Chain A
Amino acid sequence: MKKLEQTEIKNWSETLPVRRAKFGVVARQTSPFFRTQRRRLVLVGLGLAGLIACLLLCVTFGTIPVPLDQTISIIWNHTLGLIWPVARTYSNGNDTIIWEIRLPRLLLAAGVGAGLAGAGALYQGLFRNPLADPYLVGVAQGAAVGAVSAIVLPLPAFLYALGLVQWGAFLGAVVAVAIVYNLARIGGEVKSATLLLAGVAVGSVMAALTSFLTYLNQNKLTSIYGWLLGGFNMTSGWENLGRFVPYMAVGIFIALLVGRKLNVLQMGEDQATLLGLNVPLIKLVLVAAATMMAAAAVSVSGIIGFVGLVVPHFIRLLTGQDYRLLLPLSLVWGAVFMVITDSLARTVMAPAELPVSIITAFVGGPFFLFILRRKKKVEF
């Protein structure tokens, strides 16, 4: 086929009718091609800028505030400053607070937020159901059983150093999602009601199993609870981040690639097959990627609910259903959301720390109700 000149594309795009966009703004209709490409770049770029700004601001907050200029110098001197150092205008104490304590913690929070929100968006696309999220489909509780089993089993210490708890969480998450998916599926379709019922049922059984394991192993209560309560206060330092990043990287990589196929999957499995997709393979890849992200997130931070539900939904309300936009934006804004809520968690009642899951539930619960109300009027 003949390669088109840019001007030609612009010309035929003028034949498109003007569309009244959401929120009363009349959008000047450009070529759909450029609309999607440019819009995606701009919105993801804005999100990334927001994330960086948010990280920089939040890292300065705390019991001991560190001025922003000092914070920037500290981060600079530990990264690019290794080649082009700037003058040290800060104390060693501040250096430790920013570089050794707050920054790795906030980066971990960002990663966990991205993982939960990304997994939520993937599950929603896969199940073709806007209510799916790692918490509601029972994946988080499954991961908890896996992690607690790994903690209580009398295994040699070097296995734990290799990340046995994370692997346990991953395995538990996979088992849970497999059970829920098969329970909720009726004739190839996963309906809201059955999904929620199956998710709640499996989640409850998994939670009971976790309690049972905890009851049997009261000598390991501290490490179990430390893990279960959720949050980033137990997990500081760069080591944890290093252990978590590979799984997230694989999940994010897949999430960024599957957008177009996830869109096609929204047409239903039969239509997707007719459009040439290898549906069983795609579903397997999606479940693997989503579960990997969710399990990685849960394994370092415990159970933090609602992020995977709230963030993709908020993005969907603003930008529509295109997963090529929804997935990267969910990742970025999931990170922002978690960085902010974690900062609130450690400053609201300083010097005491709230578990971050309390704050996400305070935001997520009401929002969840709002979505349910809205769904009565508008089908997603």
Chain B
Amino acid sequence: MQTPFLEIKNLSAGYPGKPVLRDISLEVQPGELLGVLGANGCGKSTLVKTVSGLLKPSGGEIKLEGRDLLKLRSDERARLMTVVSQSPSLPAAFTAAEIVLMGRTPHLGAFQQEGPEDWEIVKEAMEKTDCWQMATRPVGELSGGERQRVLFALALAQQPRLLLLDEPTTYLDINYQTEIMDIALRWLAEEPGRGALAVFHDLNLAAQYCKRIVLMAKGSILAVGSPAEVITEANIRQAYGAAVIVTPHPLNDLPTTFILPGKKHL
């Protein structure tokens, strides 16, 4: 068996008096985009927070290519991994390029200034995410979709090995949703030794973009496997408490979920 790229073993985490993750174990293979699904409050965002180092776990291990992520300093961790999340508030007066340039922070010495190489990396990242043309515009003027591409460029400028996507397409129109996910797939295919873990709330987006999906419920893993194995009417009812119809996609046979208005149970 292949050595996993990211290995999470028996991870538990939560907040004082309120455990959220219970004994989670999962693996991301090299070059893989692993999808994480689950209802609100099931712990998928807590999982991203814990893996990214924003939240200290109460138990368990997180290893990236065998290195213990929990023992790294924040700047060491920032050179290995980063998170693209649903649009956080950005300082409005900075230009898009200045924001993306901040991605170079973990690669610079404490009081070092950015050099031409860093600007070159910024330009490359912004071209990959199709936002170089808005480089000199203040981010406060950008639309939601444009801002999300700038945030993606920021993550790429950081040159991580592991990319965590925390519902990066929430609030975006469908054209931007596919665009963001296409960028993620292109980034993964570009070089070996990369991996990604993406939290979705859109079942269909996850089914289309991930070869393997983890379905979470109440802080533990309910199902792992291919989209067809995980996204079933029974699983969705158990994880979300919602009645749905799942049918194969007309073009590629991947499971596609339809909601049923007014019905909680079939």
A residues with a Cβ closer than 8 A to B are 1-4, 9, 12, 15-17, 19, 29, 31-33, 37, 257, 260-261, 263-264, 266-268, 270-271, 273-279, 316, 320-322, 379-380
Complex Cα gap A321–B117 (Å): 24
CA distance A194 to B149 in the complex (A): 33
1/0 contact trace for B114-126 toward A, CB 8 Å? 1111011101000
Contact between chains at A19 and B136 (CB < 8 Å): yes
**Docked pose: A321 CA to B248 CA in angstroms:** 51
Expressed in whole angstroms, the Cα–Cα distance for A314 and B92 within the complex equals 17
Q: List residues of chain A with CB within 8 A of the CB of B195.
A: none
Q: Is the CB of A4 within 8 A of B140?
A: no
Cα A257 to Cα B111 in complex, Å, equals 6
Q: Mark B66-89, 1 if CB is under 8 A from A, else 0.
A: 000000011111110011000011
Cα-based distance from A274 to B94 in the complex (angstroms): 19
What residues of chain A lie closer than 8 Å to B140, measured between beta carbons? 379
A32 and B93 in contact, given A19-B136, A274-B52 (Cβ under 8 angstroms) = no
Cα of A223 to Cα of B249 in the assembled complex, Å: 84
Chain B residues bordering chain A, tally (CB within 8 A): 46
Choose among A15, A268, A277, A279 the residue that contacts B88 (Cβ–Cβ < 8 A): A268
Stretch from B23-31, B98-106, B175-183 contacting the other chain: B98-106
**Closest B residue, CB atoms, query A27:** B136
In the complex, the answer to whether A1 meets B93 with C-beta atoms within 8 Å is no
A4-B116 contact in complex given A267-B102, A277-B105, C-beta closer than 8 Å: yes
B91 contacts A278, C-beta separation under 8 Å = no
A15's nearest neighbour on chain B, judged by CB, is B132
Known: A33-B114, A320-B93. A273 touches B53 (CB 8 A): yes
Complex CA distance for A277 and B107, rounded to whole angstroms: 11
Find A263's partner among B77, B94, B106 (CB 8 Å cutoff): B94
Task: Decide if B97 is an interface residue (CB 8 Å cutoff).
Answer: yes
B12 — which chain A residues lie within 8 A by C-beta? none
| CB-CB nearest in chain A for B94 | A321
Least distance between A124 CB and chain B CB atoms (Å): 12
The answer to whether A276 and B106 touch across the interface, beta carbons within 8 angstroms, is yes
Does B137 sit at the interface, judged by CB under 8 A? yes
The answer to whether A267 and B117 have CB atoms under 8 Å apart is no
| Distance A16 CA – B91 CA, assembled complex (angstroms) | 22
Choose from B53, B54, B92, B103 the contact partner of A380 (Cβ within 8 Å): B92
The verdict on B113 contacting chain A, using a C-beta distance below 8 Å, is yes
- Is the Cβ of B78 less than 8 Å from the Cβ of A276? yes
Chain A proximity of B130: nearest CB distance (Å):
14
**B158 interfacial contact with A, CB 8 Å:** yes
Judge whether B88 and A271 touch: CB under 8 Å: yes
**Least distance between B94 CB and chain A CB atoms (Å):** 6
| Given A275-B158, A276-B78, A379-B140, also A264-B54 (CB < 8 A) | no
Contact with A along B123-154 (1 / 0, CB 8 A): 10000000011011100100000000000000
Least CB distance, B158 to chain A, in whole angstroms: 7
Give the residue name and chain of the A residue nearest to B99 (CB). A267
Do A278 and B74 form a contact, CB below 8 Å, given A17-B136, A270-B54?
Answer: yes
A271 to B133, CA, bound (A): 24
Question: How many residue pairs, one in A and one in B, have C-beta atoms under 8 Å apart?
Answer: 101
Let me know if B106 and A275 touch, CB within 8 A. Answer: yes
Q: How far is the CB of B91 from chain A (nearest CB, A)?
A: 4
Contact between B119 and A3, CB atoms less than 8 A apart: no
In the complex, the answer to whether A275 meets B136 with C-beta atoms within 8 Å is no
The 4 A-B residue pairs with the shortest CB-CB distance in the complex, in nearest-first order: A276-B78, A276-B106, A276-B75, A321-B93
Binding site for A on B (CB under 8 A): 52-54, 73-79, 82-83, 88-95, 97-99, 101-103, 105-106, 108, 111, 113-117, 119-121, 123, 132-133, 135-137, 140, 158
Question: In the assembled complex, how far is the CB of residue B201 from the closest CB belonging to chain A, in whole angstroms?
Answer: 20
Complex: chain A residue closest to B90, CB-CB? A267
Do the beta carbons of A12 and B123 come within 8 Å of each other?
yes
Cα distance, A7 to B92, chains bound together (Å): 32
Please give the distance in Å from A300's CB to the nearest CB on chain B: 29
Q: Which residues of chain B have C-beta atoms less than 8 A from A266's C-beta? A: 91, 94
**How many angstroms from the CA of A147 to the CA of B259 in the assembled complex?**
68
A267 to chain B, nearest CB (A): 7
Residues of chain B lying within 8 A (CB to CB) of residue A31: 119
Closest approach, in angstroms, between the C-beta of A303 and any C-beta of chain B? 31
| A71 nearest CB across to chain B (Å) | 38
Cβ of A32: which chain B residues have Cβ within 8 Å of it?
95, 97-98, 101, 119, 135-136
CA distance A80 to B85 in the complex (A): 59
Find chain A residues with CB under 8 A from B89 CB.
268
What are 6 sample pairs from A and B whose C-beta atoms fall under 8 A apart?
Answer: A264-B105, A273-B54, A275-B82, A276-B76, A320-B94, A379-B92
User: What is the chain B residue whose CB lies nearest that of A33?
Assistant: B119
Is the beta-carbon distance between A277 and B119 smaller than 8 angstroms? no
Q: In the complex the two chains form, what is the Cα distance from A1 to B88 in whole Å?
A: 31
Q: With A273-B74, A276-B78 in contact, do A267 and B91 touch (Cβ < 8 Å)? A: yes
Q: How far is the CB of B225 from chain A (nearest CB, A)?
A: 30
In Å, the complex CA distance between A270 and B55 comes to 10
Task: Decide yes or no: A264 and B77 within 8 Å by CB, A9-B119, A19-B136 being known contacts.
Answer: no
Contacts of B133 in A (CB 8 A): 17
Cβ–Cβ < 8 Å partners of A270 in chain B: 54, 88
**How far is A106 from B95 in the complex, measured between Cα atoms in Å?**
38
A276, chain B: closest CB distance, angstroms: 3
- In the docked arrangement, what's the CA distance between A380 and B115, Å? 28
Chain B nearest CB from A358 CB (Å) reads 33
- The distance from the CB of B140 to the nearest CB of chain A, in whole angstroms, is 7
Among B92, B93, B111, B140, find the residue whose CB has the most chain A CB atoms closer than 10 A.
Answer: B93
Q: Are B116 and A33 in contact (CB under 8 A)?
A: yes
State in angstroms the CA–CA spacing of A261 and B121 once bound together. 19
Residues of B within 8 A of A275 (CB): 78, 82, 102-103, 105-106, 158
Across the interface, do A264 and B102 meet the contact criterion of CB distance under 8 Å? yes
Contacting pair A19 B137 (CB below 8 A): yes
